[in-house]
Amino acid sequence: MQNYLETAVAALIAAAVALFLVEVVHRLTRRFGRRSLLLTELTDHAHRPFQVAATVLAVQFAVRFTTGYAVGESWRRLLLHLLILGVIATLAWLVACLLVVVEDTALARFRVDVPDNRHARRVRTQVVMLRRLTIAVIVILTVGVMLMTFPSVRGIGAGVLTSAGVVGVVAALAAQSLLGNVFAGLQLAFSDAVRLDDVVVVEGEWGRIEELTLSYVVVQIWDDRRLILPTSYFTSKPFQNWTRTEAAVLGTAEFDVDWAVPVQTMREELRRLVEGTELWDGRVCVLQVTDATGGMVKLRALVSAADAGSLWDLRCLVREHLVAWIRDNRPTAMPRMRTELGDANSNLPWQWVQPRRPARRLSDTEAPDDARVFGGSDDGDARSEAFVGPE
């Protein structure tokens, strides 16, 4: 009875000493690491697993060295085995926390709340994917090491290695889809095809990459729905990434109007509208006649914005304003269907009616800047060279 009491007291003393030493290290680290982000993260996130791991390890050593009187007893073997399993699990927990702290410290150097955050989002995506992979590997290795502590598992190790080829083939066939998604997730993380917070168009839906894992991708659609797609979707099917190089994008608003529409006057009205709103980023403002068939003229207003959300609001504003402008100021430009009636001999009374005011003409033969998409400005010249090639 006295031996058991001594073992319990030794275990309690070992646990107390371990907790005391961990607390001393914690306070020293907190005091001298105020200016270090890494040490601050360590004191905040690794303190608890460090306490548990040190305590279990100290108790394991105390029990092992104070139970020499019970060598060969089944209860001693069981207790030491349980303590060894606890040491393995807590050390794995501590290693995982240390790796997470290092990853969080690396992420803190790259801010995503700035306008030009493409590189930061790329690093963030890669670090998040590595974190998930790291934790998965640590869990698998921990379970494997814990299983190897059982003699029966070690005994069948040779047989398992002998049949590893057959089992590997069967497992690969059974988990083909899962493994394909895992490798697709790694490919997405390091190929820079898609990143967290990228604005994409998939399956006809416009949204933002909210979560990217090794097996699936969560797209937050503009109306707060969530579209869940396997990672292999983004490596096997085409999709639109609106923010791969930069967040600024172009958008159109199209109008079907009558041939009587004053294009240049409407172009000037569009320019006046966008210059008076903060949604426009000042890059592109173009109004062009893109079609003139079927008795109507199709006008396309091309505008630019700093991001996809601002572009959507700007396009809606352009439509709303120009529709009201045509209705109130140029009602003759509203879409109309013309019918001509002739007599029995099919004679049509053709007449030409002079317009109320003379048509406005440009001073030269060149189209104005806001009538050209590929030219007329620095941005238009760059777009022309990108799609046509240098002269």
How do residues 118-142 score in pLDDT, each as one tens digit? 667 767 777 777 777 788 888 888 8
Which is more confidently placed, 58 or 154? 58
Burial 45-78 (b: 16+ CB within 10 A, else e): ebbebbbbbbbbbbbbbbbeebbeeeeeeeebee
**Rounded-to-integer distance, Cα 58 and Cα 25, Å:** 16
The H-or-E segment that residue 29 falls in is helix 2-32
Q: What is the mean pLDDT of the chain?
A: 78
More confident residue, 314 or 245: 314
Write down the pTM of the prediction: 0.51
Query: Which pLDDT belongs to residue 232?
Result: 84
Q: Is the pLDDT of residue 93 over 80?
A: yes
Structure token pair of residue 237: 């099917």
Mean pLDDT for the stretch of residues 61-87: 80
- Asked if 83 contacts 63 with a C-beta cutoff of 8 angstroms, the reply is yes
288 pLDDT exceeds 70?
yes
Which of 176, 172, 193, 177 is CA-nearest to residue 129? 193
3-state SS class at 92: helix
Mean local confidence (pLDDT), 188-200: 79
**CA-only gyration radius of the chain, Å:** 35
According to the model, what pLDDT value does residue 157 have? 46
Rounded Cα gap, residues 131 and 100, in angstroms: 7
CA distance 89 to 93: 6
Q: Which of residues 262 and 350 earns the better pLDDT score?
A: 262
